[in-house]
C-alpha cells in the first residue's frame, strides 16, 4: 500500500454550475485546489483523475428512468422534468449536467476502488459529497449521489462493513435512504435539527429498517446555534463508540463546510478550527478502527465560497496527506491575489478563525440533562445505541 494519499481532481468538475445566482458556485472548487497548490500539498499527494461513472455504476444507486431524465435535461435544459427534481430552484438544469455529475461521481468511485485494491490508505474528493441525490430524483443541489455510489461499489467489490460519517449542516438523507435496509453499511449523520433546516429529516428515531437494517442509521440532530465546543463534543460522544463497535473495512466521511458561522444557508455557529478538529478526528478514527486505515474523505455543502470552503478543504487534504497545515500560518499572497482576480473579494489571511486549539469536554466526564446539546446527544444514544449492543 502506498503511503501517499490520493487527491481526486479533474478541472472539468468546475463545470458543475447551476448558474450565476445559485449559492453552489463552482469557484469554491477552483479556489480550494489553488490553495492546496499554494501550500504545496499537491506535492505530498498523488493527484489523479478517474473517468466518469458509467451507466452500470450509476445504476448501483440510481434508477434507469432517472438517468434518462438527467441525460435529456443535459441535452435540452428547457425540457427538464421537475418530477425528477430537475429544472427546480435548487437543481436548475444546465448543459452537460449528466457528464459533469458523472465525472464527480467517478472521482469518488475511483477513489473507493483504489482504497479497496490497497493502492492507498487515504483518498480525498472534495468535489464530491453530494449526499442529497435520491435513486430517482435530484435534490438539494445534488444530481448523482457520489457518496452512495462509492459505498455501493465497495459492496460490489466484496466489502462487508462500510461506515459513512456525515458532518455537513444538512442531513445526509440520500446516503441513508440508499442503505436503509443494508446491515453492511452504517450511516451516521451529525446535522442541524430537521425542525430548522432542509431536508427536514434526520431525527434520532430514524435508525434503519426494521429487521436486518435496525441500528444501521444514526442521526445526531443538533440545535440551531450550536458552536465549537458543543459540535466537537457531540461528535466524540457518538461517533468513536459506533466505529469501535462496527469495525468498518472502509470509512467514508463527508465534510460539508456549511456548519460554519458565516455560511448563509444554515444556522450552526462552528468555526474553521472546529471543522479542522473533526477532520483530524476522522483521520485518527480511520487509523484506530478501520482495516488498513482506509479513509475516503469527501466535500459537500458550503456556501461561504471564499472565506470558508477553500480553507476547510485545504486542511482536509493536508490532513489526509499526513502533512497538516499550521492553523496559524499566513496564507500565501499568490492565492489571495487569485481570489481577488476571480471574485473581486479579499481572501482570508490565515488558516484559522482564531479558535485553535478547540476545547471540548468528554461525554464520559458527565452530562447536563437540562442542556440542549446534551439532550440531543442523549436522544441519539438512546435511539440508536441499544440496537448495536451499546449502552446509551
What residues are annotated to the active site? 132
Instruction: Identify the three-state secondary structure at position 152.
Output: helix
DSSP per position, 305-372: TTTTHHHHHHHHHHHHTT-PPPTTPBPPHHHHHHHHHHHSSPPPSBS--S-PSPP---GGG---TTSH
Distance CA(230)–CA(225), nearest Å, equals 10
CB 267 within 8 A of CB 301: no
Residue with cell 462500510: 162
CB 335 within 8 A of CB 255: no
Sign of the Cα pseudo-torsion (335, 338, 343, 346, in order): positive
Beta-carbon contacts of residue 167 (< 8 Å; ≥ 6 apart): 190, 191, 235, 253, 254, 255, 256, 259, 278
Distance CA(122)–CA(294), nearest Å, equals 6
Which whole-number Å values give the CA distances from 59 to 50, 130, 240, 383, in the listed order?
Answer: 18, 16, 32, 32
Q: Counting Cβ atoms within 10 Å, is residue 256 exposed (0-12), middle (13-18) or buried (19+)?
A: buried
Residue with cell 446539546: 373
Q: Per DSSP, what are the bridge partners of residue 123? A: 6, 296
Amino acid at each position: 500500500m502506498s503511503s501517499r494519499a490520493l487527491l481526486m481532481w479533474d478541472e472539468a468538475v468546475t463545470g458543475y454550475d447551476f448558474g450565476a445566482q445559485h449559492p453552489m458556485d463552482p469557484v469554491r472548487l477552483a479556489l480550494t485546489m489553488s490553495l492546496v497548490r499554494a501550500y504545496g500539498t499537491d506535492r505530498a499527494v498523488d493527484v489523479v483523475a478517474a473517468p466518469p461513472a458509467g451507466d452500470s455504476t450509476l445504476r448501483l444507486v440510481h434508477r434507469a428512468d432517472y438517468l434518462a431524465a438527467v441525460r435529456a435535461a443535459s441535452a435540452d435544459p428547457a425540457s427538464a422534468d421537475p418530477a425528477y427534481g430537475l429544472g427546480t430552484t435548487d437543481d436548475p438544469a444546465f448543459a452537460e449536467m449528466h457528464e459533469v455529475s458523472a465525472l464527480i461521481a467517478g472521482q469518488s468511485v475511483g477513489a473507493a476502488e483504489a482504497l479497496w485494491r490497497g493502492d492507498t490508505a487515504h483518498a480525498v474528493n472534495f468535489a464530491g459529497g453530494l449526499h442529497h441525490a435520491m435513486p430517482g430524483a435530484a435534490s438539494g443541489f445534488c444530481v448523482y449521489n457520489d457518496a452512495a455510489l462509492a459505498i455501493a461499489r465497495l459492496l460490489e467489490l466484496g466489502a462487508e462493513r462500510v461506515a459513512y460519517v456525515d458532518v455537513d449542516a444538512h442531513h445526509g438523507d440520500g446516503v441513508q435512504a440508499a442503505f436503509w435496509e443494508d446491515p453492511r453499511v452504517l450511516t451516521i449523520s451529525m446535522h442541524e435539527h430537521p425542525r430548522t433546516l432542509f431536508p427536514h429529516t434526520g431525527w434520532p428515531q430514524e435508525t434503519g429498517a426494521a429487521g436486518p437494517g435496525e441500528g444501521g442509521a444514526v442521526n445526531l440532530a443538533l440545535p440551531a446555534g450550536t458552536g465549537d465546543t458543543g459540535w466537537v463534543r457531540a461528535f466524540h460522544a457518538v461517533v468513536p463508540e459506533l466505529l469501535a463497535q462496527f469495525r468498518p473495512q472502509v470509512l467514508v466521511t463527508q465534510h460539508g463546510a456549511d456548519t460554519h458561522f458565516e455560511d448563509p444557508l444554515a444556522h450552526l455557529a462552528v468555526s474553521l478550527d472546529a471543522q479542522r478538529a473533526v477532520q483530524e478526528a476522522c483521520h485518527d478514527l480511520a487509523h484506530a478502527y478501520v482495516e488498513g486505515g482506509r479513509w475516503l474523505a469527501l466535500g459537500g455543502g458550503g456556501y461561504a465560497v471564499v472565506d470558508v470552503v477553500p480553507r476547510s478543504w485545504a486542511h482536509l487534504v493536508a490532513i489526509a496527506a499526513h502533512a497538516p497545515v499550521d492553523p496559524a500560518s499566513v496564507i500565501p499572497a499568490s492565492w489571495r491575489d487569485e481570489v481577488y482576480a476571480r471574485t473581486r473579494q479579499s481572501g482570508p489571511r490565515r488558516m484559522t478563525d482564531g479558535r485553535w486549539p478547540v476545547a471540548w469536554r468528554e461525554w464520559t466526564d458527565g452530562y447536563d440533562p437540562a442542556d440542549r446539546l446534551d439532550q440531543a446527544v442523549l436522544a441519539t444514544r438512546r435511539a440508536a445505541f441499544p440496537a448495536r449492543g451499546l449502552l446509551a
